[in-house]
With several copies, the nearest count.
Chain A
């Protein structure tokens, strides 16, 4: 990556949506919306509700499916010279493996990010115990190994923050052969409209993102960084260069800008520029010197 800044899956579409605001090849990479084998229609609306300094979403992984990704979306990003991190979602280890294999075979990705943590594809009313793959270390091991066996592309595992101790799933991913982890996916949350007494999301439960969750994400990155040897992509509430640098200092090797791209489509580019300006101002030669450099 030419710089440590990418965008968070699902907040930047397939990259083309933002091309009209800036040259997306200036980012370290474009991380695309989770892709599944078949196209998915996603959840019923309403799918979004704003919360204090944040956003709850229950999109339900609506996506064009791997075929259209390979025939249209990836080729377009290639014409724009973008580095591609392809985020994938499946219903079994085999589906993930298949997705990774096809992406590598078609040269449609420079790295794979496996979303083992989407909160919006289960029925919240009946769920008990571990409902997301990345809430179980055993499941992480099985899924990661399957994908690892299927591809030689750099492999990142995206984890849920809805665990007691993030070090455990992170170490499980590392042990199973991941090249890195992405922290964090959204926090489970919900909101109710007091006037109608109905949940504000058709899916009832959704994932919380945005600046509101930043302190939680920074803490998880810091926790994981103290025990991992593989890199971390830090995500959660980044709104500009200052908050991106917080993640680097906590131990992230790279960062991804998520929901803030909705508020300002050019946020990721501003983060790239802001980090460069910060390095200059502090006379730091290499951005890697910031990684884990918090002075506790």
Chain B
């Protein structure tokens, strides 16, 4: 099921500099949404910005869902000005969520910066279905950008903090932290964050024989597979195509399929 609904903004708070949490009401979308899926958010009613903005479901509640986003440019800046009581048009859920595999031994979430957005919903689902909450590596530039740590702890997760400037946790890169946790063939790693963080994390997992899923970003117009704008190059052909669409073939991909070099060049990240 896919919906386009005007959802009421229930709460909207600045949680760190330039980072906002917005709770929206929609029982339909909440019922249909899976961790790792995303929605397309209309940031303003008028047609500039023209396109919706993709945002993943950060938390999924009984009566709605929560977005967690960073102000990057014009669109998210305008979104941040909306206030509770107003409505916001949401299209979703879209894309493929994270597969939940209780049979695996170990689940490790590796999150960098705003890449954390999708993980509270995933952590809750894993905690509920796998018996054991996932381990979480939470990395960010600086202390105040380490988001959702308490939320993960409240779900029972062990949280390993890392910052680039050493202001909290370890002064280390996320991939290095993963290496030290000693992943193995029975480990499933879920990574989301800057491109370089995902590619290095994928490399660490590969060397250890662990599986690694990444959640990718790309410029999107439709979110529905129609515009062919959001493609990334895959190492393996998918239905005869070298180009896979982040919106419908992803956003969650097996890291081993992604041509990281091509992707880095394209998005310059």
Contacts and interface: CB of A to CB of B under 8 A. Distances in A.
Given A48-B229, A196-B268, A261-B226, A62 B243 contact: yes
A257 B52 CA distance: 17
A266 B219 CA distance: 21
Given A17-B222, A198-B268, A48 B227 contact: yes
Interface stretch (B42-50, B104-112, B139-147): B42-50
Interface string B220-241: 1110111111111100000011
Given A13-B225, A21-B4, A47 B262 contact: no
Interface stretch (A53-61, A77-85, A227-235): A53-61
A54 B49 CA distance: 8
A201 to B, nearest CB: 10
Interface string B88-130: 0001000000000000000000000000000000000000000
B18 interface: no
Contact of B42 (A55, A68, A198, A263): A263
A50 B72 CA distance: 14
Interface stretch (A38-46, A144-152, A161-169): A38-46
B253 to A, nearest CB: 14
Contacts, number: 113
B51 interface: yes
A265 interface: yes
Given A55-B50, A263-B52, A10 B219 contact: no
Contacts of A68: 240
B266 A44 contact: yes
A210 interface: yes
A150 B96 CA distance: 43
Interface residues of A, number: 42
Given A196-B268, A266-B4, A39 B240 contact: yes
Interface of A: 10-13, 17-18, 20-21, 33, 39, 41-42, 44-55, 57, 59, 62, 64, 68, 196, 198, 202, 210-211, 239, 259, 261-266
Given A46-B219, A59-B228, A262-B221, 20 more contacts: A10-B228, A20-B2, A21-B2, A21-B4, A39-B240, A39-B241, A41-B243, A51-B50, A52-B47, A53-B50, A55-B51, A55-B221, A62-B231, A211-B48, A239-B47, A259-B50, A262-B52, A263-B47, A265-B4, A265-B222
19 contacts: A10-B227, A13-B222, A13-B226, A13-B227, A20-B224, A39-B240, A44-B262, A45-B218, A45-B231, A48-B220, A49-B219, A50-B49, A50-B50, A202-B266, A211-B47, A239-B47, A259-B221, A263-B42, A264-B4
